[in-house]
């Protein structure tokens, strides 16, 4: 199909609309696998000697200063509904001083008339914005066109997403993932803005994180297992009785739990956005304790927008920030980074994953 084929455009718009509906419904959440963040128990400090007003929630990410360690991670673009969603998210995120990403700009690259569904800086000029393109599409487009996608929406960083598991279930999905490391290395070298490499619900292993660090990537979004399964999303979309539906059901829970992936990426020396199943400020704080620099949320923000528009998103983000601030105080931490040294207990399943993969248990080093 050519890039301007009307049927291809209709397919993209329908797919994007399906993705929103299925993700928002919760029908594609992981069935049994969890983020394992629930096994991170920060120790209550009854004598923290802190005042809530003296806590500093500010965090550095991609060279920009956030008011709180939080990212509304990329979800959508390419449909009229996506345009409204992205603009509501942008206004609310900018007001909260946190970052936001758009969904895959493949639709925009192939159909320029869909560009306005990704444009949000006119509505929120102060927003810290992350663009987004799949690594296979980046390989096909080349460095200059990826740079143009970032420039056209005023992106402060460009996310390159990895989604082989999703593509293997998707009808007419990508099947050739060679050359990913090479195009990422070239983008890191050539783009004027930072590159964020992100998974899409299956997590980044220590081996993947080390390869990314080796080619100069500084920031990753681990997007681990435990929230929305994009394998499951495509299984839901596949025809009943089809091989794709059967394969998607079989691999529904495929992926590395978010907590494990966060530890792995931090161990590789990367700046980490922990996303994938985070639902609250408490989850963000747990991820920070494991070495993340920020937490990323998507599905709960989408649900807040659908329920209450921009005001619903504002209220949700305010609640998340308040929760992060409260957990910091109760754990005796003045800043988000201080949570990395805060006493904690790790549950047995998380410990077993870390032990089996040779990963450190953050914050549990022997004390004199």
Share the mean pLDDT of the chain: 93
Q: For residue range 149-176, list pLDDT tens digits in order.
A: 999 999 999 999 999 999 999 988 889 9
Give a yes or no: residue 23 inside a domain: no
* Residue 193 belongs to a domain: yes
pLDDT of residue 12: 67
pLDDT of residue 367: 39
Domain that holds residue 310: 29-356
Assess whether pLDDT exceeds 70 at residue 306.
Answer: yes
The reply to whether 22 falls in a domain is: no
Model pLDDT, residue 254:
97
Residue 363 lies in a domain: no
CA distance 168 to 222: 19
pTM beyond 0.85: the answer is: yes
Residue 22: what pLDDT? Answer: 76
Q: What is the pLDDT of residue 27?
A: 83
Q: Please report which confidence band the pLDDT of residue 19 belongs to, taking 50, 70 and 90 as the band edges.
A: confident
Token duo for residue 59 = 């965090």
How many whole angstroms separate alpha carbon 21 and alpha carbon 224? 21
pLDDT greater than 50 at residue 366: no
Query: What domain count does the chain have?
Result: 1
pLDDT in tens, 49-67: 999 999 999 999 999 999 9
Give the C-alpha separation, 3 to 54, whole Å: 54
Percent of the chain with pLDDT over 90: 86
Residue 8 belongs to a domain = no
Mean pLDDT (whole number) for 109-121 = 95
More confident residue, 86 or 19: 86
Contact between 114 and 77 under an 8 Å Cβ cutoff? The reply is yes
pLDDT band for position 303 (cuts 50, 70, 90): very high
**In-domain check, residue 286:** yes
CA 15/CA 12 separation, integer angstroms:
5
Confidence at residue 4, expressed as pLDDT on a 0 to 100 scale: 57
User: Has residue 312 got a pLDDT over 90?
Assistant: yes
| 195-247 residue pLDDT tens | 999 999 999 999 999 999 999 999 999 999 999 999 999 999 999 999 999 99
**CATH assignment of the domain containing 315:** 3.20.20.70
Decide if 17 is inside a domain: no
pLDDT higher than threshold 80 for residue 18: no
């Amino acid at each position: 199909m050519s890039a301007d084929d009307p049927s291809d455009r209709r397919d993209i718009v329908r797919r994007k609309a399906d993705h929103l509906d299925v993700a928002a419904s919760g029908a594609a959440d992981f069935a049994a696998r969890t983020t394992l963040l629930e096994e991170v128990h920060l120790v209550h400090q009854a004598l923290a000697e802190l005042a809530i007003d003296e806590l500093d929630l500010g965090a550095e990410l991609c060279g920009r200063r956030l008011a709180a360690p939080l990212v509304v991670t990329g979800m959508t673009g390419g449909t009229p509904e996506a345009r409204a969603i992205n603009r509501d998210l942008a206004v609310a995120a900018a007001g909260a001083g946190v970052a936001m990403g758009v969904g895959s700009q493949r639709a925009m690259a192939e159909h320029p008339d869909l560009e306005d569904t990704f444009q949000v800086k006119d509505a929120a000029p102060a927003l810290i914005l992350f663009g987004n393109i799949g690594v296979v599409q980046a390989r096909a487009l080349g460095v200059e066109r990826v740079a143009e996608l970032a420039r056209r929406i005023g992106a402060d960083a460009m996310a390159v997403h990895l989604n082989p598991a999703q593509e293997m279930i998707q009808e007419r999905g990508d099947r050739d993932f060679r050359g990913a490391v090479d195009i990422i290395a070239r983008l890191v070298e050539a783009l004027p803005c930072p590159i964020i490499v992100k998974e899409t619900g299956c997590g980044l292993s220590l081996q993947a994180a080390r390869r990314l660090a080796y080619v100069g990537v500084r920031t990753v979004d681990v997007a681990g297992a435990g929230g929305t399964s994009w394998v499951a999303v495509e299984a839901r979309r596949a025809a009943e009785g089809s091989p794709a539906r059967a394969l998607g059901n079989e691999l529904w829970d495929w992926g590395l739990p978010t907590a494990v992936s966060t530890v792995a990426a931090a161990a590789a020396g990367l700046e980490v956005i922990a996303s994938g199943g985070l639902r609250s400020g408490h989850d963000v704080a747990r991820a920070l304790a494991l070495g993340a620099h920020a937490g990323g949320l998507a599905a709960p923000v989408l649900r807040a927008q659908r329920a209450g528009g921009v005001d619903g998103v504002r209220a949700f983000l305010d609640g998340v920030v308040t929760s992060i601030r409260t957990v910091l105080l109760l754990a005796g931490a003045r800043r988000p980074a201080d949570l990395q040294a805060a006493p904690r207990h790790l549950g047995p399943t998380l410990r077993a994953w870390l032990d089996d993969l040779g990963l450190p248990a953050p914050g549990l080093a022997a004390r004199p």
